[in-house]
Amino acid sequence: MKLKSDISDMAADFTNRYLDLLNAQLPKTQRTYGFEFEFLPDRPLNAGDLAEVEAHLSKSGKYCNGAVFFENGTCVAFEPGGQIEFCSPPLMPDDSAGFDELVEFMQRINAGISSDLGITYLPKGYIPGRRDAPLCLSSRRYVNLHRRLAKSGTRGHEMMKATASIHLHVAICSIKEILPLFFRICALAGDPLFAMSPERRDIWNNTDPSRCGMPPCCEESLEGAAELIERLVRYGCYAVVLGEEVPFYKASDISFDSFLYHMTTIFTDVRFNLKGTTLELRTLDSMPMEAFRLRWERFMEKTSEIY
């Protein structure tokens, strides 16, 4: 009984602190959008290959903490299988020129890597046969995740090294819109235009039940933002901590700062991203640019009138 009470106290405390963080960044006067776009290498890479790609990019950008930042506001980072990931700056919904410039930038960067290093990046959601490929990133986060996914499911190593996705971000502008915006994005996750391919969904369904799949409250009747945050915080409290193999509430460090980091290791199809105060849809497979443009425009259209 005491354990249940302790978890309830933790969830209540963290919910209040989480809401304080949101309130400190809100309201926003303009809704912006962003994306993270991953490409798979045409062959399995190793850490040495990835170091060459990083060095190539650093010639024209600024390398910092495992990512390369460019003057146009785009960040280029990497995933454990050598996937390259382009992270856009915030974009206004009517900034079609800015979107076109980012598409051209991604294509130019990938073409330069292919020409200079012989590594071709492909807009594909899944390439089979890479479960046992080398782990290209050596940070504790990814080493612990790799270890966790060796036993939490049957296809987690494929998720890490053989898949590529597109994450769509919409800025949260006010506390009162969080709940309807969250429900709208949950609905989009099941829309055929935005859903995972069956191949990639099977991988995610067999990766880690404590951190993958739809959030636990997409179809619940909730009263407001505080109740939604509390449900998501409880979910996080029961999710397994990387490197310790226990739920968060049993971890060696149960501070709020540790919890915020822990939440970044939970990969639900829809999630909050405090870094930009956005809601994030994570279901799209990587795809050719002409197919992405339609989904980008439709995503903005579907989330533009939430008040």
Token representation of residue 82: 């050598």
Kindly state the percentage of the chain with pLDDT values over 70.
98
Q: How confident is the model over 276-293, as pLDDT tens digits?
A: 899 999 999 999 999 999
Q: What is the pLDDT of residue 305?
A: 75
What pTM was computed for the model? 0.95
Question: C-alpha angle with apex 28: 293 to 17, nearest 5 degrees?
Answer: 110
Task: Give residues with Cβ within 8 angstroms of 290, minimum separation 6.
Answer: none
Nearest to 130 by CA among 165, 151, 159: 159
Q: What is the pLDDT of residue 216?
A: 86
> Mean pLDDT over all residues of the chain?
95
Structural domains of the chain in order of their starting residue, each with its CATH number: 2-301 (3.30.590.20)
